[in-house]
Amino acid sequence: MQQPHHYLVVLGAGVMGASIATLAVGHGVPVTLIDVNDAKLAAAESRIAGELRLARLMGALPEHAPGVTVTTSGHLADAAGATAVVEAVTEDADIKEKVLTEVSAVVAPGTVLVSNTSSIPIDELASAAARPAEVIGTHFMNPPYLIRTVEVIRGARTGEQALAAIHSLLGALRRQPVVVRDAPGFVTSRLLHPMINNAARVVQEGTATVEDVDTLMQGCLGHATGPLRTADLIGIDNLVDSLRVLHERTGDPGCLPCDLLLEKVRAGDIGRKSGRGFYTYQGDMS
C-alpha cells in the first residue's frame, strides 16, 4: 500500500519549531521552516544539523528514510502547498491566533492546522482560523526527535478529517499519538508544570537544594530527569508563560509562578538554551 505524501510547514524557528523540523526531515518528510526573524532561521539551520547528527548517533531515526532537506523562508505565503502546518510560535494566545488567521488564508481548504501548545485551549485558538474544523493541537515534548509519544488535543470543533490527518502525519514520523479532550494545559502540562513550580518553591524556601530535589524525585518517585532539569529543558521562560496561562484559565493558585522562576527569567537564566538555568550547561545550547 502506498504511503501518503506529506509536506510539512513549520511556523516559528525557535527551539521547538527547529526540533519538530528535525524530527520530520529525519523521517523523510520535507519541511519548510518559516520565521520573520532571519537570525532565528540561521540559528535554526545550525540547530537542525546538530540535532540530526545527535539523533542518528542515538539510533533515533530510521536508517533508510528518503533524503530530504529543510527549506527556510521569511514569507508566510510559502506555506501554500503544505499538507500540514505546525504552528510553533511563542506561547502567547494573541500571537498564535494572529498566525493561525494568516496561515488559514494561505493554505488550501482541508489542510490540517496544528497548534503546538503546552497550555492554551485549542478551541480558543481555532476561533482565529477561517475553518475551525481544520485546527487541532499537539504537545510535542522536548526533544521531539527522541520522545516518541505525542499528546494530541481535539478541540470541540476539530473535524474527523483533521484528526485523521494528524494520525497520518504522526504515523509517518513514527510517533504514538494519545488523543485527549481540550482543556487548559490538557494532561501533561496540567500535571507537570504545577509540580515543577512546587519543586522550585521547595528550593526557594530552603528546604532542599536543586540537586537534592531532582535526586529524590528520580530515585524515590521514578521521574526520569527530575523536575528542575526538566524545567531547564522546557525553558524556564516557556514554563512561566504556561503557568500564567494555567493560572488565568483555571484560577488554581498553585499555577502562579513562584518567585524563583520569575527571578531566573529576569536574569536570563532560562535553561539549556541560554546555557544556564537551575544547572549550568557547556557549549552552545541555543
Give burial (CB, 10 Å; 0-12/13-18/19+) of 164: exposed
Question: By C-alpha distance, which of 165, 178, 174, 150 is closest to 5?
Answer: 165
Three cell numbers at 65? 528514510
Beta bridge partners of 176: 149
Q: Is 139 a catalytic residue?
A: yes
Residue with cell 476561533: 127
For residue 258, the tally of other CB atoms under 10 A from its CB is: 20
Given 6, 27, 139, 193, which residue is catalytic?
139
Q: Just list the catalytic residues.
A: 139
